[in-house]
Every structure is written in structure tokens, then in C-alpha cells.
A and B are shown apart, each in its own frame.
Chain A
Amino acid sequence: MDATAPGEPPIRFERFTFRYPPVAGAAPVTALEEISLEVAAGEFLGITGSTGSGKSTLCLAIAGLVPQETGGIVGGSVVVTGWDTRYTPVPQLATRVGVVFQDPESNLVGLSVEDEVAFGPENLGIPPAEIARRVDWALEVVGLSHERNRLSAHLSGGQKQRLAIAAVLAMQPQILVLDEPTAQLDPVGKEEVIAAVERLRQELGRRLTIVLVESDTELLSRFADRIVVLHAGRVALEGSPRAVFSRTQELAALGIRIPPLAELAARLNRALGAELSFLSQTEAEAALARLLEQTGLTRSNDQPPRAGHQERPAAEPVPAPRQARAGSLLTLASERDDQTLHAREPASLIEIEDARYRYGGVYPALNGVSLRIGAGEFLALIGPNGSGKTTLAKHCNGLLRPESGRVLVAGQDTRTTHVGQLARTVGYAFQNPDHQLFLPSVAEELAYGPRNLGLRGPELRARVDEALERFGLAELRNRHPTLLGRGLRQLVAIAAVYALSPRLLILDEPTCGLDGQATGRLMATIEELVAEGRSVLLITHDLRLVAEHARRVVLVHEGRILGDGPPRQILTDEALLARAGMAPLTIARLSRGLSRYGILPSLTEAELAEAVLARLAAGTGHSGLTREGGPG
């Protein structure tokens, strides 16, 4: 292998423009426009952007898959370690560039763990002794040495992605490209992959150039040396994480979800005219502690210093009663309306009584679950993969029926009622929109469900029009759903379920694959539905979303309900979350770290900013716990 010429950056985009080949007579879609970008040796470059901004295309271009495998029209060039990606065969480029894609299923050939890692070097004709050495090393780095004889198909999602990274590392690339490697993982799997990348960084340091594409900006801010924000195929923002993530308004306009700490800093800066900036929790805690101490709020003012307070979540101050928070703009959604107090009791829509279920009659999935969901509830179901969330949700519309115990949907026993019949009451939007789209136009897709329920003529048309309007799809009514981008396909799939006009809407990871803007729009629509009295059951790993929107959180672990209550109760209970293998929100952890200054447990950036500002205002001598001017 010849080395890169000295002074030549490992990756150089020069006015690179790319258009995908046209589909079905449409015009070619521009994916990247005039991209000029250099990545230095050993740099960790983070790339983010809204859906359709060209992030993934950029990854494919570095590996030469664009344009060699995809076809399409190219302008300018991408030169990788001195090789022009237009003319260097992909297998040759593979000796310098390793790529890991988002979907764990399509990253692996399907061999045993060891063979999967050996596969790349074998294709390159590396001598067996050397392959053995590389396999040992790569599996060690990603922490899979003890799994080497298992079949890759039997691994968890996080393990599969780590294996994909190992498989690429064994080819000893100079560049590692990771295209949203954690997007489809649960929090546990995500942490596993992050730990593997961290380990890799320690092990190889500057010998490996890494390009990480992520919509999770919090993750990027932890790792990247430099951030590039793409928008509509162009570089919209570029700079250090600190510089880029401080431009919160621009980011929001570009559809980027702002990292919680950056959002917190921006809010405080706006209120205080300060120039706070923090990327890590440690940094934020230190900066805020300094700020609070400056104004005279020392530890002794409020509470005696507590030794080892990290280990004592149960001893946290009890959150102020919700009445004290009501009325403020900065309360959680769960505390703004009266739903949690009143709506749950009367008229249960779903009644699950001691349900037990085993897959194939063997593998236990629900171990005695009882749950009631009332009309107009907005409930979030959280828990790691395999905890039983989806199994539980599928019991709510009769897709699965309990082996013992029973499930009543609007009073009907699911064991004696057909799924198609229950679809009138419960709508279920699956995680992957491609699992339910098949008709040639968006409007027909939306009409499919209501037609199954017997709607015809003007009634059907009115139903479809209303659903199109509600989800902002009216302009796309005649477009082919499968040719839309991932975010829009997701919306069509949800709208198609909404068109059934169900009283309970179950949404399985509805924001997966959506950018900040699209997420915001979807959640606003869901809030409307809740306000109109429909119930929503949201299955998600995104605790930020849960904190901001859900009125009630049900934490599931090993087929049992571990916790059930308002977001503030469940999401601030670190011990409870830890029992389910889940990490608390960054903001929740940070607020706990600041509790010695009288900051109450907070869940959202807005809430914590307000708490800090209130303490600062009260800082000139007051003591005791206050917030929003309420009594301590």
C-alpha cells in the first residue's frame, strides 16, 4: 500500500456536486452542491444537517459508492488519500476508507462474529496470520472478544454496530466514516457504540481520521474537533463545536436539534447578556456553580454540603407541588393541563389486567402487566430494547393477545375481537414507514384504512382531506409515497393511521429519522390531537421528547412495569432509570449536580435556565428553595 503524499489531506472535496439519477421521469435530485471541504489527518469531523441535507450522500462519496454504485451526475471531485473517488475502484478505496451505515442489518454479511471481521481482510488477500492478529485486535477494541464464535444474526443492535466497526477496522483504514451509527439503537446500544468509538480514539489517536454523521448533536459536541452543518446539499455552518453550537437560532432555522447544554447556555446568555458556553456536563456544572457562587449563593446558604450526594437520588428535595408550577410558561406539558389529575380515572379506553405473554409460548415478554389508559391521555412508554414496550403496545390493538390475564379495548375483550375491528378504536403506526406504504399516491395511502372500515364516497374523501391537511401533506397528495424522503414517508405513514380516526393512536418511534424541525411539527400535531381528546401512546427512546410532551410515563423493564407517573417523577428518579439500564437526561443530571445551590430537579433546558435565573435573582441573601416566585 502506498502512503499518502505528505501535506495531502486525507479527504478533499473540491467543488463537488452530485445529482442522483432521476426516478420515474422526474428531474435528477441534487444531493450535494459545490461542496469544498478538507479533513486533516487524525481529525474527528462531525457532520450534521436536517433530513435530505446530503449527509449520507457525503459519506457515500468519501467511500466512492457515490457515484460508482449509485450512478448519477458528478461535478468537481473528491480525493481521498490522493485517490480520486470517481476512478478508484471501491474495493481499492476500501483499503483506506471504512464505512459503517445506519441500519445494523445491512452492515453485516451474516457470518459468525470472527468471520465477519475476517471477511474484509480476506477479500484483500491478507495472509491468514496477519488476519488473525487484526481480528483479535479489532474485536478487543469494540469489546466483542468474548462473542467471537456467535452468529452475528444473534447479536443485539448495539453489538451488531460494534461488530460492523470492528469489521471495518480490521481492514486498517486511514479513514473511518460512520453514518448515524446509533440512530436505530436504544440508549444502551448507543452507549456501547459511543464507548467503542471513545476506546478507538484512545487507542489510535491521530492515526485514524474519523467522519461521524449524526443528527444527535449532543453526541457530536462530545467528540468532534470540528462541525460541519449541511443544508440542502451545501455547507451552511462550519467551525469548532463551541462556535457552531452557540449559534442556536441559525441551527434551529436549519432544522437542527440543538444540544441541550448549548440550548441552556443560549437561554442564559440571552437573559444575562453573558457569554456562557459549555459542551460537557462537567464544564456546565463548573460554570454554573461559579455563576451561582458569584452572586453569594454558596453551599452553606441553602443546604449543608452533602458527601457523596451522587449516590443519594432518593434524598433529593421533593419537587414542588404541581400547583406551584402551574401558570408558568416554563412548566412541563404534563403540568400545564389538568390531565394527570382528572382525565385518567373515568372511562378507561384500554384496560390491561395482569397480562402475560411469551413469544412462541417460550420466551417471556410480558410478566404480569396491568395498565389503564384513559381518554385524552398522552402516555410515553420507555425502556431499553427487549423490555417489552412493543409487546405491550401490540396488546393494546389485539395484534398480540395475552396468554393469561385480559385486555379490554373500549370494553371489548381482545381475545374475542378481530384486529381489524379494533382498528376503529386503536391506530398503530409502526416504526419503519416502509412497512406500511404500498399505494401509488399519498391520498390513496390515506384512504386505504378508512376504506377497510367501510367508508366510501364523500365521507371517505372528507376523511382523507382532513388527514392530509392536518399533517401538512395536502400538496403531496398525488405524489408516490415510496419516492418521498424518509421524514415525509414517516409523516404519510402516521397520517394513514390517523385517517382511521382512532381514539388511541400508538406511535412507535415516530421521530426516528426526523430532523429537529420535522420533529417539532409532528409533535405540535400530536399535541393538537391530545387537546381534542384523543389518547396517544408514544414509544420512544428520546427522553427529551418525553420530558417536553408526555403527561404520563410508563417505564417497562423485563416485561414488567417498573414505574408509572408524571415525567418529573419518573425521569428524575436516577435509581429507577438505572434499574432499567437507562441514563437520565443531561439536564436532569446537571440540575442534580447543582442541587446544593437550591436548584430543583429540572427536565428541560427552559426549566433549568429559569431555575438558575430565579436563583440568581434571589441570590442576594435569600435562602430556601424557591422557583417561579412560589413558596419554598
Chain B
Amino acid sequence: MSAGYDLYAPGDSWLHRLDPRVKLILTAMAALLVLLWSSLPLLLAALALAHLLLALARYPRGLAIGVWRALAPLLILIVTLWPVFDRRGEPVLLALGPLIVTGEALLRGLATALRIAALSFTLLLWLGTTDQRSLVRSLVRLGLPFSLGMALTIGLRFIPTFAGVYQTVSEAFQARGLTLPPRGLRRLQAMLPILVAALVTALRMSEQLGWTLAARGVGAPVRRTTLRDLAMRPADWLALAAGLAAGLALLWLTLAEGLGRALR
């Protein structure tokens, strides 16, 4: 059940082993660059690099295709609608009354779609190779309060659980003759009982979970210890240094020299 909500693929590649903090910092760096760039070749290169790294980390192709599939509707929408609203630039390819489509707007739409795709796969490099506990642990080590990290862990855990409860509840209602209208307000109305029942179940569960946390010593007035703390290995420092140097150089080129700011 959890498979559909989990992008993480267990593994033992160099990317999996890289310290989650390093991965987080480098992902942030790469995301910043992708957001700044408009150049089609550069964005394509970033997207290709992300795929190359995923392949090197032996990330399952099926999961990556799943991400493409999930993105597809959004990307298609952007590419088709962007030119309708953005009438700047040359050459005019089509002029039908108020509808003007320019070549530049078409490319701009394409660039935006590519940027979203590149950003998604950059994030996938991080989320797809970092398990939940390392993820939360790295956030905590980078300054997130432990209680928030805890809440995040439990929240993430409850997404598949709640989805499962919602599924069962919805089946139980259908078995009592509920027919969900295909769409619209009436569908939302019909879904209300399902949501109520699912929420009641979730509340009962969370009350008990609260007890479990208290009974496991959360909130004890002592300094918390950790069984396996994160520790930077030389390889992690090296990756961080190299990654940051490359990233900062590209950032300087982007901001000072205008690298990748133009469409082509």
C-alpha cells in the first residue's frame, strides 16, 4: 500500500550512502540554479544529468517513469497554455482574433515545463535515495527542533495509513449502496460521510499513538541521546566540497555573467 506514496527506493549505492545533510545542501544548490536558468540547453543538460545520476545510483526505472507519468498532465498543460497567455516576442506563428501564438512564448512554455521537470528530478535524487529517518535526522541535525522532526516522521507515516483507511471507508460506504457521482459538487457532498468516518478512525488512532509516545519516554526531562548519529566521512566532505565549488561557480556565472538566463 505504501509503495504508491513512497519515492524512496532502498539501495546501497554511493548516492544512498552519501550523508543526508550533504545531499540536502547540494539538492538545494542545484534547485536554486535550475530555478534561475531559462536556457533550454542548460535545463535539458540538468535533466539529463539528474537521470544519469539516478541511473548510476541504480534507482528503479519504473519509479522514475512513474514520476514522469505523474508530471505529464502538468507539463502538457504548461506547454499548451503558456503561449495563449504570453504574447511577447517573435515570430508570430498564429493569429486568430485575440489568440496570438509567438515562437518565443512557445519556447518559454517549454522552458518552464523543463524547469519543473528538472527541479522534480533534482528533488528525486535526494528523496529517492534517502530513507525517511535519515531525512528527518538530517533536518534535525541542521537545526530543526526534534519535536518538529518527530511530528514530520509521524505525519509522513500517517499519509499511507490514512489513505488506506480512506480506501476501506469508501468501500464500506459503496457496499451500503452509496454511488459516488463522477464529478462536481455532488461528488464532494457524497464524499463527506466517507471523510467523517475516516477522520474519526484517524483520531482514535492518533490518540493511542499519543499515549505510546508518552509511554516511550517522549518529554523525559533529560538530554536525548541517539543510537546512530550522523557522521561525515571523508567521502562526504569531498562530495560536499566538490559539489559546492561547482555549484557556487555556476551560481557566480549565472548571476554575474548571465549564464543560462537567455532562452537559447
Q: Spot the interface stretch: A114-122, A214-222, A240-248, A283-291.
A: A114-122
A132 to B206, CA, bound (A): 29
Decide: A91 and B218 in contact? CB cutoff 8 A. Answer: yes
Decide: B200 and A434 in contact? CB cutoff 8 A. Answer: yes
Q: Does B157 contact A (CB under 8 A)?
A: yes
**In the complex, chain A residues whose CB is within 8 Å of the CB of B174:** 399, 419-420, 423
Decide: B220 and A118 in contact? CB cutoff 8 A. Answer: no
CB under 8 Å from chain B, chain A span 412-426 = 418-420, 423-424, 426
A97 to B217, CA, bound (A): 11
CB under 8 Å from chain B, chain A span 104-157 = 105-112, 114-115, 118-128, 131-132, 135, 151, 153-154
Size bracket of the B interface: 35 or more
Name the residue of chain B whose CB is nearest to the CB of A394.
Answer: B171
**In the complex, chain A residues whose CB is within 8 Å of the CB of B208:** 101, 103, 106
Name the residue of chain B whose CB is nearest to the CB of A114.
Answer: B227
Q: Spot the interface stretch: A376-384, A435-443, A591-599.
A: A435-443
A94 and B212 contact, Cβ closer than 8 Å, known pairs A122-B226, A432-B201, A452-B177: no
A252 to B1, CA, bound (A): 41
Q: Does B223 contact A (CB under 8 A)?
A: yes
**In the complex, chain A residues whose CB is within 8 Å of the CB of B175:** 397, 399, 419, 423, 426-428, 430, 497
Q: Does B176 contact A (CB under 8 A)?
A: yes
Label chain B's interface by main secondary structure.
helix
C-beta contact mask, B118-140 vs A, less than 8 Å → 1, else 0? 00000000000001110000000
CB under 8 Å from chain A, chain B span 194-226 = 196-198, 200-201, 204-206, 208-226
Q: Which of these, B4, B131, B225, contacts A112 with CB under 8 Å?
A: B131
A118 and B224 contact, Cβ closer than 8 Å, known pairs A109-B212, A109-B216: no
Name the residue of chain A whose CB is nearest to the CB of B160.
Answer: A153
Name the residue of chain A whose CB is nearest to the CB of B164.
Answer: A105
Min C-beta distance of B220 to chain A, whole Å: 4
Decide: A428 and B172 in contact? CB cutoff 8 A. Answer: yes
CB under 8 Å from chain A, chain B span 149-166 = 150, 153-154, 156-158, 160-161, 165
Decide: B153 and A496 in contact? CB cutoff 8 A. Answer: no
Q: Does A459 contact B (CB under 8 A)?
A: no
Name the residue of chain A whose CB is nearest to the CB of B8.
Answer: A151
A63 to B217, CA, bound (A): 11
Decide: B225 and A95 in contact? CB cutoff 8 A. Answer: no
A112 to B228, CA, bound (A): 12
Decide: B197 and A434 in contact? CB cutoff 8 A. Answer: yes
Q: Does B80 contact A (CB under 8 A)?
A: no
CB under 8 Å from chain B, chain A span 572-624 = none
A439 to B229, CA, bound (A): 49
A434 and B157 contact, Cβ closer than 8 Å, known pairs A92-B220, A128-B225: no
**In the complex, chain A residues whose CB is within 8 Å of the CB of B171:** 394, 399, 428, 430
Q: Does B2 contact A (CB under 8 A)?
A: yes
A501 to B133, CA, bound (A): 49
A60 and B178 contact, Cβ closer than 8 Å, known pairs A119-B216, A127-B225: no
**In the complex, chain B residues whose CB is within 8 Å of the CB of A99:** 211-212, 215
Min C-beta distance of B172 to chain A, whole Å: 4
Min C-beta distance of B109 to chain A, whole Å: 34
Q: Does B169 contact A (CB under 8 A)?
A: yes
A109 and B176 contact, Cβ closer than 8 Å, known pairs A69-B214, A124-B222: no
Min C-beta distance of A1 to chain B, whole Å: 12
Decide: B169 and A435 in contact? CB cutoff 8 A. Answer: yes
Q: Give the most central of A99, A132, A436, A449: most B CB within 10 Å.
A: A436
**In the complex, chain B residues whose CB is within 8 Å of the CB of A438:** 193, 196-197, 200
Decide: B177 and A154 in contact? CB cutoff 8 A. Answer: no
A435 and B172 contact, Cβ closer than 8 Å, known pairs A91-B218, A110-B154: yes
A188 to B14, CA, bound (A): 39
C-beta contact mask, A83-98 vs B, less than 8 Å → 1, else 0? 0000001111111011
Q: Does B189 contact A (CB under 8 A)?
A: no
A171 to B216, CA, bound (A): 8
**In the complex, chain B residues whose CB is within 8 Å of the CB of A423:** 174-177
Q: Does A31 contact B (CB under 8 A)?
A: no
- Seed contacts A420-B177, A452-B179; 15 additional CB < 8 Å A-B pairs: A63-B215, A65-B214, A109-B213, A115-B227, A120-B216, A122-B224, A123-B220, A123-B224, A125-B222, A125-B225, A151-B132, A167-B216, A430-B171, A435-B165, A435-B168
Q: Which 5 A-B residue pairings sit nearest by Cβ, starting from the closest?
A: A110-B157, A452-B177, A125-B222, A106-B208, A123-B217
Taking Cβ atoms with an 8 Å cutoff, the residues of A that contact B are 60, 63, 65, 68-69, 89-95, 97-99, 101, 103, 105-112, 114-115, 118-128, 131-132, 135, 151, 153-154, 167-168, 171, 360, 394, 397, 399, 418-420, 423-424, 426-428, 430, 432, 434-439, 448-450, 452-453, 482, 496-497, 500
Q: List 5 A-B contacts (CB under 8 A).
A: A101-B212, A360-B4, A435-B197, A436-B197, A438-B197
